[in-house]
Amino acid sequence: MKLAGILVVLLGLLAVLASAIAVVYVRQQTRLQFVELTRLGVERDDLNVEYGRLQLEQATWADNNRVDQIAREKLGMLAPHPTASVVIRR
């Protein structure tokens, strides 16, 4: 009977030790994941700022007046005379 009692105590001690190690491991993993989450949040914010800048730049480059000015100055293009336009109707 004495050996069975010692065996139960040792198994209990091993279970408590394994549980303690598992708690430490899980807490460390949680910390690492929180650090990664914070890093990804900062990266997301940086990408959102860059996306806003790119949208503004695209709007600037695609402005109709700017395109018209470049077409006239650099490419020598002109708007067609109204008599040169042909309207096709169904």
CA 70 – CA 62 distance, rounded (Å): 11
pTM: 0.59
pLDDT at 26: 98
pLDDT digits (tens, 9 = 90+) for 28-55: 999 999 999 999 999 999 999 999 999 9
pLDDT bracket for residue 1 (50, 70, 90) = low
Using the CB atoms, write b or e for 17-33: b if 16+ within 10 Å: eeeeeeeeeeeeeeeee
Report DSSP letters for the chain, one per residue: -HHHHHHHHHHHHHHHHHHHHHHHHHHHHHHHHHHHHHHHHHHHHHHHHHHHHHHHHHHHHT-HHHHHHHHHHTS---PPPGGG------
Q: Where are the domains of the chain?
A: 23-60
